Amino acid sequence: MAKIVVLGAGISGHTAAAHLRRKLPRRHEVVVVSPSEYYQWVPSNIWVGIGKMTVDQVRFKLPPLYKKWGIQFVQAKALELHPEGDASGSRAFVTVEYTDTSHKGEKASVDYDFLVNATGPKLNFDATEGLGPGKFTSSVCTYGHAAETWEELKGCFDRMKRGERLTLLFGTGHPAATCQGAAFEYALNVAYEIKQLKLLDKAEMVWLTNEYELGDFGMGGAFIKRGGYVTPTKVFAESVMAEYGIRWIKRAGVTKVEKGIVHYETLDGRQLTQRFDFAMLIPAFSGVGLKAFGKTGEDISSALFAPSGFMKVDADYSGKPFEEWEIDDWPSIYRNPVYPNHFAPGIAFAPPHQISKPMKSPGGLLITPAPPRTGMPSGVTGKIIALNLVDLINKGRTEFKHKASMGKMGAACIVSAGFSMRKGQAATMTVFPIVPDWEKYPQWGRDLGYTVGEIGLAGHWIKLLLHYLFLHKAKGYPFWWLLPE
């Protein structure tokens, strides 16, 4: 009998647990450890942040579903991994701290044969002084943050209706932040709402980003086929921003936030500020802070985790120059090489290098987006880890056949640009592969047959449909496994 522990119940963790339970005989245990009792469909937090959806429309409780599926649920935060067990001869275990109301603060150990680290990121607001909820900026990274952000935005709308002219700031709140797409989407939705309220003359909207060019999105940008022409995502993003009346500041790393003022450094070394009345800035991501210890208590964290706190997997972490990296340096099975019963999908795995070229200011500040691993890559990597574990447990297969390198995987992204069934818009973009392969596709870095982009009302309909389809899938409704990741 095997026992698999999945840390985290987000897109990658929930996907992995669902496929493990569906494919493995019931004599094998599947345990999910998560600090929250809720699953949230993160892409729709944007709509919570503009008041078009409620919190309960983007989340649901996990315990009833996991009980039905035969998955043990532990509401707790993982603290320490002990992949070798301890001196008493115990098997591998993870130390957790309960977060449910009845046992909150208590610690326990959960043993395992295999571990899937799907904890996702720590929202590292503290990496930028003054950033984040409870300080001077807002967030849509969680449904709770998004609900608070909507309340603040409503107050701004009221002030604008009374005749005040406000500056609304969107973008990245750290020089190495990723998830530009989420901030981009939120900015477009707010701009759409302001237009619908006929308040454009009362709003100055500003996009502040660490991207070298707009449309970089942490993947080095892309060339997309649009309307029969090849267009850089730079032109695509700039044209959308201009259409929505948003001014942009690029190549900027936010270093500090004060009430109503953002301080940032540019790639050319200038120290500048931008005032604001409302700001929604994405924080840096880091690992959640897991530590690892050997049998006799020695710290072995470096064997499992990169300095960022994300888990090392089957990637090349040699640190060779950016120009020498190859597609094959990216992981494909997301398995730790030192402790091969440990896996990490989605944001929890450590990328081997930047996708966007690293850029530093004259003062040495790295101002470059980190590689994105959210959404589709998270679901896909969670699934392939589950399928490989099933083959290993059921058939003893050690040569894994299920692989999903970001250098050989495509992704689709739909960026909402206004919530309305008749007037709404969304930008739909697909890229293949996510990490550009300049050796295979020397002209564009990607296959233009699968790298395309369009914007229009149909995109909004698709985005809304996918909201319900993916919640259908996550809730385990009939034939959920037939829906793609």
Residues 163-166: contacts with CB under 8 Å, at least 24 apart: 163/202, 164/202, 165/201, 165/202, 165/203, 165/204, 166/202, 166/203, 166/204, 166/277, 166/278
Cα(214)–Cα(317) distance, integer angstroms = 28
Query: How, if at all, do strands 3-7 and 114-117 pair?
Result: parallel
CA angle 93, 94, 95 (to 5 degrees): 120
**Going residue by residue through the chain (485 aa), what tens digit of pLDDT does each one get?**
999 999 999 999 999 999 999 999 999 999 999 999 999 999 999 999 999 999 999 999 999 999 999 999 999 999 999 999 998 889 999 999 999 999 999 999 999 999 999 999 999 999 999 999 999 999 999 999 999 999 999 999 999 999 999 999 999 999 999 999 999 999 999 999 999 999 999 999 999 999 999 999 999 999 998 878 899 999 999 999 999 999 999 999 999 999 999 999 999 999 999 999 999 999 999 999 999 999 999 999 999 999 999 999 999 999 999 999 999 999 999 999 999 999 999 999 999 999 999 999 999 999 999 999 988 999 999 999 999 999 999 998 889 999 999 999 999 899 999 999 999 999 998 999 999 999 999 999 999 999 998 899 999 999 999 999 999 999 999 999 999 99
The residue among 2, 61, 69, 73 whose CA lies nearest residue 33 is 73
φ and ψ at 271, to 5 degrees?
-105, 110
Within a 10 A sphere around the Cβ of 162, how many other Cβ atoms? 8
pLDDT given at position 225: 86
CB 57 within 8 A of CB 99: no
Burial of 374 (0-12, 13-18, 19+ CB in 10 A): buried
Alpha carbon separation from 232 to 89, 214, 359, 377, 455 (Å, rounded) = 58, 10, 20, 22, 15
CB 383 within 8 A of CB 15: yes
Helix and strand element counts for the chain (H, E): 9, 24
pLDDT given at position 55: 98
Encoded amino acid at 361, one letter: S
In order of start, what are the domains of the chain with their CATH numbers? 3-123+286-395 (3.50.50.100)
Block residue for tokens 């909201």? 467
The residue among 237, 224, 227 whose CA lies nearest residue 450 is 224
For the whole prediction, is pTM greater than 0.85? yes
Structure tokens belonging to residue 152: 């603040």
Bridge partners for 29 per DSSP: 3
Structure tokens belonging to residue 129: 């002084």
- Hey, CA dihedral for 275, 281, 287, 290, is it positive or negative? positive
The residue among 434, 435, 414 whose CA lies nearest residue 424 is 414
For the beta sheet containing 271-275, the strands, ordered from the edge strand earlier in sequence to the opposite edge, are 252-258, 261-266, 271-275
Interior/surface letters 325-354, b for 16+ CB within 10 angstroms, e for the rest:
bebebbbbbbbbeebebbbbbbbbbbbbbb
Cα(329)–Cα(430) distance, integer angstroms = 23
Helix (H, G, I), strand (E, B) or coil at 380: helix
pLDDT tens digit string along 306-351?
Answer: 999 999 999 999 999 999 999 999 999 999 999 999 999 999 999 9
